[in-house]
Amino acid sequence: MTALSTELSTALFGTAQENDAEPATRRCRAIFLSDIHLGTRGCQAELLLDFLKHHDSDYLYLVGDIVDGWRLKRSWFWAQSHNDVVQKILRKARKGTKVIYVPGNHDEAGRDYCGLNFGGVQVMREAIHEGAAGRRYLVLHGDEFDGVVRYAKWLALLGDWAYNMALRANHWFNLARRALGLPYWSLSAWLKHKVKNAVEYIGNYEKAVAEEARKRGVDGVICGHIHHAEIRDFDGVLYCNDGDWVESCTGLVEHFDGRLEIVHWQTPYASRLPAPLLAAAE
């Protein structure tokens, strides 16, 4: 990913002040994150922490697969950075951010607690987000529109195993890139989008979720599940997928004018600052 220009950096994040210890925080009305997969080695927790450090919002939606219960059942992995992500989210809730957690299929145990509030985090099976421009969005993880997950869970588990093998290769691949001073790049995502069947699956999934939003009488839908960030109009219904924090490292933000934007966060914020701003921020 190329470095942001000085003009774009200033427009998005404001001008760094000479006495600031850190770059300015970008204020949004709402942030939507999904498919973080805490508890797996493929989780890009450090990049997510950097994103959360430099973004604040009135609403924070956690749109499923935040913790990977499937993986943790097979083998335990929990890095300090994963704990830091949880603590950062809870800290935002304590400071007044309205945090809504919509469990997915990998953290489906959370669905047993819908309607409850834990440390300022409201657990819901699905939600309706009222946008600043008056548009209403159905917020759900989206696994119920995946036929493999819904009707053949054993096949989904097999696919999950193969997927984790690809992520393991992706991990070593990116260690080599980091040693060369190159930013994160998802080998697994590139392979997935080169496979014709995967592209067809994504298209069918998007249409099915958008059609559900139409049936519900809302203006759009915000979901996750397939690890493919997208904003797309389906005959008047706005389909939004916030992506993931394993392959693409993306989140969806709503600005105060109601505009929705996918934010790519594949390198730390500081490394993207132009030299004059970086010096001022240090």
Q: What is the pLDDT of residue 213?
A: 96
Q: What is the mean pLDDT of residues 92-117?
A: 96
- Residue 22 pLDDT > 60: no
Q: What is the number of H-type helices and E-type strands within the chain?
A: 10, 12
CATH number for the domain spanning 91: value is 3.60.21.10
As a dihedral over the C-alpha atoms of residue 25, residue 31, residue 37, residue 38, rounded to 10 degrees, the angle is 50
* Phi, psi angles (nearest 5°) of residue 97: -70, 130
What is the rounded CA–CA span in Å between residue 110 and residue 188? 28
- Whether 21 is in a domain gets the answer no
Q: What is the mean pLDDT of residues 175-184?
A: 73
pLDDT tens digits, one per residue of 31-44: 999 999 999 998 99
Pair 23, 281: CB distance under 8 Å? yes
Q: What is the pLDDT of residue 203?
A: 75
Q: What is the pLDDT of residue 147?
A: 57
- Whether 19 is in a domain gets the answer no
Distance of CA 24 to the CA centre of its chain: 21
Q: Looking up tokens 């600043």, which residue turns up?
A: 132
pLDDT tens digits, one per residue of 33-83: 999 999 999 899 999 999 999 999 999 999 999 999 998 998 999 999 999
Lowest mean pLDDT among 2-16, 67-81, 187-201: 2-16
Band of residue 264 on the pLDDT scale cut at 50, 70, 90? very high
Residue type, 259: R
Q: Is the pTM of this model over 0.85?
A: no
- Whether 205 is in a domain gets the answer yes
pLDDT tens digits, one per residue of 129-158: 999 999 999 999 999 887 533 433 433 444
- Residue 1 pLDDT > 70: no
Give the residue numbers spanning the domain of 53.
Answer: 7-12+26-281
Q: What is the pLDDT of residue 197?
A: 52
Q: What is the mean pLDDT of residues 254-281?
A: 71
Which of 36, 69, 6 lies closest to 242 in space, CA to CA? Answer: 36
- Whether 20 is in a domain gets the answer no
pLDDT tens digits, one per residue of 201-231: 777 889 999 999 999 999 999 999 999 999 9
* Tally of structural domains, the chain: 1
Q: What is the pLDDT of residue 200?
A: 62
Pair 183, 177: CB distance under 8 Å? yes
- Whether 224 is in a domain gets the answer yes
- Residue 95 pLDDT > 90: yes
The better pLDDT of the pair 265, 157 is held by: 265
- Whether 200 is in a domain gets the answer yes
